[in-house]
Amino acid sequence: MRTRIWALVALLLAFGSAAHAQEASIIGTAVDETRAVLAGVSVIATDQASGRQLSAMTNARGEYRLLNVPPGTYALQAEIAGFATVILLDIELLVGQNATIPLTMKLAFELLEKCGLPPGVANIVNGGKSVVDMLIDHPDVKAISFVGSTPVARYVYARAGEHGKRAQCQGGAKNHVIVLPDADMKMTTQIIGDSAFGCAGQRCLAVSVAVTIGEAQKTFRDSITEAAASLRVGNGLDEGVQMGPVISPQSKARVESLIATGQKQGAKILLDGRNSRIPKGETGNFVKPTILDGVPATSDLTETEIFGPVLSMVHANDLDEALAFLERSPYGNQASLFTSSGAAARRFRYDAPAGNVGINIGVAAPMAYFPFSGWKDSFFGIMHAQGRDAVEFYTEKKIVVERWAKDHSRKF
């Protein structure tokens, strides 16, 4: 059984990380690194629940319960990345069925069943806010893990704190990328385009704001606009399609409303994806790639997580000014720098005000054996998701002091 579980863990880690890495070579490394993270860990605690509409679970001894609330979008990757650690810690898993994407978790559980996971280890449950509140308040639930918007993350964290419970609550994001003039502009355009418009911009690490420096203002602006305009939008199951719809009619309306807000507040629309007409997709929730240039620092778009295929552009005279712009953001989920300068990269690694930092990377998502390290209003708590932080969060420590002397003495 242990061999089968390790095979399942390899699959889960590969599946969870492939959303960003897409390389089969990570499987062996993932298993090796996860073993290293878990080496010497004595599990006394455990239990998890997942899904936006949730519940909780307990291990066989019932010593510890963890409530886990994942996001409504990008839920599969967010969940799979945590499955491996939970299973390795011998945790029974209770996953909430998300009403927006009910087939996603159904597919995931079908795969778990095919892998030979014993009955009862992973389970699905339905519910809403009242269920979450009840579980947060329940004395048998000892910890809460959440992924979602900042207002809800703050609410869950505060409610957990009222009961003295540990919580890790991952909130919203406004991810910035700085483009220096010495960057390889062709490759930079491809990578940032994939980050901003991949998954129709509906992921917590999608680039949302590009800060250009010096001559990069014109060169990057022109290249990213041309690249975004050439993307084929349509049914994701059709061959050749590069970007699909947003998740719902409500999301489409919200994204288009924010584009209009940015325009009213002074931004220039270089590429407008509103009111898109997609062949055979007239009733779909399609918003084509949109680029707004010269977004004012006071605009709502500099702080609002759009969660759609919209890239805002601002300009800075130097790296100091660009970093100061990032520092003013209330979020600190991800920040990336595109450059060919080692000195600039070194400075950015230390000074970027974000927990996940990338150099020439569009989606700076850590592999599942590293912590997912959001800062500022992107995270509430101490121990982050994934890696050793996750092990620390899912377990409790016990220190045992013993002495087997023949005679009692005050000497040691």
**In whole angstroms, what is the distance from residue 69 CA to residue 170 CA?**
10
Among 115, 169, 199, 204, which one carries the catalytic annotation? 204
Q: Decide if 115 is catalytic.
A: no
Instruction: Kindly tell me the sign of the dihedral angle through the C-alpha atoms of 269, 183, 360, 193.
Output: positive
* Rg, C-alpha atoms of the chain: 23
User: What is the C-alpha separation between 126 and 112, in angstroms, rounded?
Assistant: 19
* Nearest residue to 35 via CA among 46, 47, 27: 27
Residue 231, class by beta-carbon neighbours within 10 Å (0-12 exposed, 13-18 middle, 19+ buried)?
Answer: middle
What are the tokens at 39? 């080496």
Token pair of 165, please? Answer: 């419970």
Which structure tokens are listed for 57?
Answer: 């679970």
Sign of CA dihedral 336, 341, 345, 348: negative
**CA angle 33–38–44, rounded 5-degree value:** 160
Cα angle, residue 310 at apex, residues 304 and 312 outer, rounded to 5°: 70
CA distance 104 to 74: 10
Residues designated catalytic: 204
